[in-house]
Amino acid sequence: MDKLTKEQRHRCMASIRGKGTKPEITVRKFLFSRGFRYRLNHPRLPGRPDLVLRKYRSVIFVNGCFWHGHENCKYHVLPKSNAEFWQAKIERNHARDIEEQRKLAQMGWHCITVWECQLKPAVREKTLESLAFTLNSIFLKDHSVKRYALPKEEHAMAAEPYFSNE
């Protein structure tokens, strides 16, 4: 049974934000301090990713474990009341996330998902360092100099060879 009244629960759930969350701000501060520049919630990209790094052709989604259905995570626990509603809602969110990432991949974007549980103090530094490493690896892979082997050229002649009949 819920400890709050229906109005209190409604007010509580309505106050949950989708932008500017603590996990998102943690990632933003880390990336900015490391020299990464980004845009927030780009409206023309599918799913309005939390962070868009155009130079790296990458998008970052900072997902809450409960809202996006992070499997095998202690923060993804379904409420006991109205369980069918929450199960359906989280499954829709998860399916929508997969579809948005598929569309972004087709457009040539690299999709990175950072989960809320990966930003807890015990593992935060490791997660953020691996994020920076991943972004740098993507940049190097996409911008490396490609060396092509030139095919052997046969000397083409502009005119017939000159033979003297003497």
Question: 44: Cβ–Cβ under 8 A, 6 or more apart, which residues?
Answer: none
Radius of gyration of the chain (CA): 26
Q: Among 111, 97, 131, which residue's Cα sits nearest to residue 26? A: 131
Q: What is the pLDDT of residues 97-150, one digit of tens each?
A: 999 999 999 999 999 999 999 999 999 999 999 999 999 999 988 877 666 666
Q: What pLDDT does 51 receive? A: 94
CB 66 within 8 A of CB 72: no
CB 54 within 8 A of CB 39: yes
Of residues 164 and 129, the one with the higher pLDDT is 129
CA distance 122 to 33: 20
User: Is 60 exceeded by the pLDDT of residue 85?
Assistant: yes
Enclosing H/E stretch for 107? none
Q: What pLDDT does 154 receive? A: 66
**CA angle (70 as vertex; 83, 112 as ends), nearest 5:** 145
Q: What pLDDT does 97 receive? A: 93
Q: Which tokens in the block code for residue 31? A: 């990336």
CB 47 within 8 A of CB 100: yes
Domains delineated in the chain: 14-138 (3.40.960.10)
